[in-house]
């Protein structure tokens, strides 16, 4: 993987922690660019030649003496770049510099109180008035012997070496996770590292991003023609608008109606992009083609692969018609790449093939333009506003590429699609009518592959169960169910059952992610 070598950045070396992305987000929230790279892929030359102002070593599930399971080139520590080790990162830093790590007698998971031992630049304004602070720990091992020339900055009851530093070489280690919100004032500690220790300046605003991305697109595609898969969702809308600012006359957006969209979606997208934003848009009605291929397919991964492949085929077909198209633009985001295991290649296991990544056929003929692939969703939203897209588009809930297909476990039929479109329509409308839409990160209706008995009027019914899901989240990587105000669920359940034939029972999904995922498949 190549790094963005223009901006001075914080480099995060990922050892497989579930919080690595959070570290990157925090740094970017401070207005400083950050990138993640897997411990397996990092090469010392990349660090020397890439404007790296600070290195953060992430946490991870490993033990520092499992040498065959991870890579760490000790030379990284002699480049005179400040280093902050977090949890496993703290342990590997200590071990490599001559300290020792051993299994903790008392494992610490959850909140722990640390007490200040000495002053440090790293902890300026971090401790409470009584010189203590609550931090979030998650470790089974701990540093048992500090390397030479280090001093203790803070200790907890079970971790004497909770924060250590060597100011001469700018090495810092913390046993806890400052990146998670449970650590009180964790952001202050990270901010101190970025600004006081690495001495970085802000270089990452939506405006800078916009200008840089437009420049990059121009450079990448030159005078060639580009097609852009537009779904009308936030990501592809932002990509389309970026491309239109960069290379308007060589851009054709293609909107494929795969028959698995929300109710009236196709009309709304055409109205917004073709009529209002005057983007060159081709509307392709491929409903029949998709439904034919999906008939009798119930395996979630097969559905995803079929849809992903067909999308690309259709793009290629239209690319041929437009002639001389060399590039395909997509709204792939950083988390999409990470969840499909292609950015860092670290230990995180593959969960699903997101269709704009995992579903791409190997023989793909077009080159990809993916201007958002280093951005998180909230950064994309800010960028969209910077590009003058309306708040309506920007604040839309995410909608997955495979659409309603993955909200309908089991067989896909036209009848089920029609029922589901209606249920989703009523649910989303009720959220908007009740002022709840913007409080929720994502919401949808799904149709479960079971029928149950009900009674309506005096008659027996035997119809589908509709599952409603509404979650709050920061970036879709983790999520909690949304706690609706009293009465809302009853009201929407009545509306759905009274208005839609085919549903006689409504249930609400109260699982978080993990252990569930946001979509059902």
Q: Which is nearer to ligand XMP, 11 or 477 (CB)?
A: 477
What angle (nearest 5°) sits at the alpha carbon of residue 145, between those of residues 141 and 148? 135
DSSP letters for 497-513: HHH-TTEEEEEE----B
For position 518 contacting ligand XMP by CB under 6 A, the verdict is: yes
3-state class of 322 per DSSP? helix
CB of 236 to ligand XMP, least distance (A): 9
Q: Is 139 in the site for ligand XMP (CB under 6 A)?
A: no
- Of 25-33, 313-321, 394-402, 422-430, which segment contacts ligand XMP by CB under 6 A? 394-402
Sheet with 171-174, edge to edge strand ranges:
33-38, 9-14, 52-57, 83-86, 171-174, 163-166, 151-156, 100-116, 132-145
- DSSP 8-state assignment for residue 348: P
* 407 near ligand XMP, judged by CB under 6 A: no
139 vs 377, which CB is nearer to ligand XMP?
Answer: 377
Strands 163-166 and 171-174: antiparallel
| Alpha-carbon distances, residue 199 vs 7, 77, 144, 358 (angstroms) | 14, 18, 30, 39
Among 257-265, 351-359, 362-370, 496-504, which window interacts with ligand XMP (CB under 6 A)?
A: 351-359
Does 373 contact ligand XMP by CB under 6 A? no
Residue listed under structure tokens 């790094």: 3
DSSP, collapsed to helix, strand or coil, labels residue 404 as: helix
Long-range (24+ apart) CB contacts under 8 A made by 143-149 are 143/90, 143/91, 143/94, 143/95, 143/99, 143/100, 143/101, 143/173, 143/175, 144/99, 144/100, 144/101, 144/102, 145/94, 145/99, 145/100, 146/94, 146/99, 147/94, 147/97, 147/98, 147/99, 148/97, 148/98
Applying the rule CB under 6 A, the residues between 232 and 271 that interact with ligand XMP are: none
Bridge-based pairing of strands 163-166 and 251-257 is: unpaired
Among 341, 352, 381, 416, binds ligand XMP (CB under 6 A): 352
> Which residue from 401, 408, 484, 504 is in contact with ligand XMP, where contact means CB under 6 A?
401
- Compute the least distance from the CB of residue 505 to ligand XMP, in Å: 23
Query: Could you tell me which stretch among 397-405, 425-433, 447-455, 503-511 binds ligand XMP (CB under 6 A)?
Result: 397-405
User: In terms of CB distance, is 116 or 381 closer to ligand XMP?
Assistant: 381
Q: Which of 126-134, 183-191, 317-325, 353-361 is the region at the interface with ligand XMP (rule: CB under 6 A)?
A: 353-361
- Closer residue to ligand XMP (CB): 192 or 356: 356
The site string for ligand XMP over 426-455 (x = CB under 6 A, - otherwise) reads: ----------------x-------------
Which residues is 451 bridged to in the sheet? Answer: 464
Residue closer to ligand XMP, measured from CB, 16 or 401: 401
At closest approach, how far in Å is the CB of 235 from ligand XMP? 7
99 binds ligand XMP (CB under 6 A): no
Contact 154, 114 (CB under 8 A): yes
Nearer to ligand XMP, 76 or 518 (CB): 518
DSSP-derived letter for residue 273 is: I
Instruction: Determine contact, residues 164/153, Cβ cutoff 8 Å.
Output: yes
Considering the rule CB under 6 A, would residue 519 count as an interface residue with ligand XMP? yes
The nearest distance, CB 516 to ligand XMP, in angstroms, is 8
From the number of C-beta atoms within 10 Å of its C-beta (0-12, 13-18, 19+), residue 501 rates as exposed
Q: Of the candidates 420, 412, 478, which has an alpha carbon nearest to the alpha carbon of residue 447?
A: 420
Site size for ligand XMP (CB under 6 A):
16
- Binding positions for ligand XMP, 474-503, rule CB under 6 A: 476
396 is an interface residue for ligand XMP by CB under 6 A: no
Least Å from the CB of residue 265 to ligand XMP: 14
Nearest distance, CB of residue 513 and ligand XMP, angstroms:
5
Active site residues: 87, 177, 179
204 three-state secondary structure: coil
C-alpha 46: how far from chain center: 25
Examine residue 355 and tell whether it contacts ligand XMP (CB under 6 A): yes
Least distance to ligand XMP, CB of residue 177, Å:
22
Binds ligand XMP (CB under 6 A): choice among 37, 400, 412, 505 = 400
What does the binding site for ligand XMP look like in residue numbers (CB under 6 A)? Answer: 304, 351-352, 354-356, 398, 400-402, 442, 476, 513, 517-519
């Amino acid at each position: 993987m190549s790094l963005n070598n223009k901006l001075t950045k914080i480099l995060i070396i990922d050892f497989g922690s579930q919080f690595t992305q959070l570290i990157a987000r925090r740094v970017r929230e401070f207005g400083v660019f950050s990138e993640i790279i897997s411990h397996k892929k990092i090469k010392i030359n990349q660090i020397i030649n890439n404007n790296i102002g600070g290195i953060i070593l992430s946490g991870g599930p490993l033990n520092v003496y499992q040498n065959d399971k991870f890579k760490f080139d000790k030379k990284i520590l002699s480049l005179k770049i400040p280093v902050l080790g977090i949890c496993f990162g703290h342990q590997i830093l200590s071990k490599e510099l001559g300290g020792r790590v051993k299994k903790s007698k008392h494992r610490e998971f959850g909140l722990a109180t640390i007490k200040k031992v000495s002053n440090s630049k790293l902890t300026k304004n971090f401790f409470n008035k009584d010189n203590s602070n609550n931090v979030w720990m998650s470790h089974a091992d701990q540093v048992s012997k500090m390397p030479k020339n280090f001093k203790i900055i803070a200790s907890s009851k079970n971790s004497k070496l909770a924060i250590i530093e060597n100011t001469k070489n700018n090495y810092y280690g913390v046993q806890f996770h400052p990146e998670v919100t449970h650590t009180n004032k964790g952001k202050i500690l990270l901010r101190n590292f970025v600004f006081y220790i690495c001495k970085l300046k802000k270089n990452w605003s939506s405006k800078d991003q916009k200008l840089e991305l437009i420049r990059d697109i121009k450079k990448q595609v030159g005078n060639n023609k580009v097609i852009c898969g537009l779904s009308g969702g936030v990501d592809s809308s932002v990509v389309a608008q970026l491309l239109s600012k960069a290379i308007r006359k060589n851009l054709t957006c293609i909107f494929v109606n795969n028959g698995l969209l929300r109710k009236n979606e196709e009309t709304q997208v055409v109205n917004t992009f073709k009529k209002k934003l005057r983007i060159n848009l081709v509307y392709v009605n491929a409903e029949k083609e998709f439904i034919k291929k999906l008939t009798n397919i119930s395996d979630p991964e097969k559905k995803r692969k079929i849809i992903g492949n067909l999308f690309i085929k259709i793009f290629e077909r239209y690319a041929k018609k437009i002639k001389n198209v060399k590039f395909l633009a997509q709204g792939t985001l950083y988390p999409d790449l990470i969840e499909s295991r292609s950015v860092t290649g670290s230990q995180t296991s593959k969960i699903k093939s997101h269709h704009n990544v995992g579903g791409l056929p190997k023989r793909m003929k077009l080159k990809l333009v993916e201007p958002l692939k280093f951005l998180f969703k909230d950064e994309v939203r800010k960028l969209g506003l910077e590009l003058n897209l309306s708040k309506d588009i920007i604040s839309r809930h995410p909608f997955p590429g495979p659409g309603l297909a993955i909200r309908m476990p089991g067989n896909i039929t036209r009848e089920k699609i029609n029922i589901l479109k209606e249920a989703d329509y009523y649910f989303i409308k009720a959220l908007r009518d009740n002022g709840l839409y913007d409080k929720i990160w994502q919401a949808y209706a799904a149709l479960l592959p079971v029928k149950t008995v009900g009674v309506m009027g005096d008659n027996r019914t035997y119809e589908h169960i509709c599952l409603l899901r509404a979650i709050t989240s920061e970036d879709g990587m983790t999520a909690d169910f949304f706690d609706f105000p009293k009465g809302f669920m009853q009201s929407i359940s009545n509306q759905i059952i009274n208005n839609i034939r085919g549903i006689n029972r409504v249930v609400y999904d109260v699982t978080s992610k993990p252990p569930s995922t946001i979509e059902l498949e």
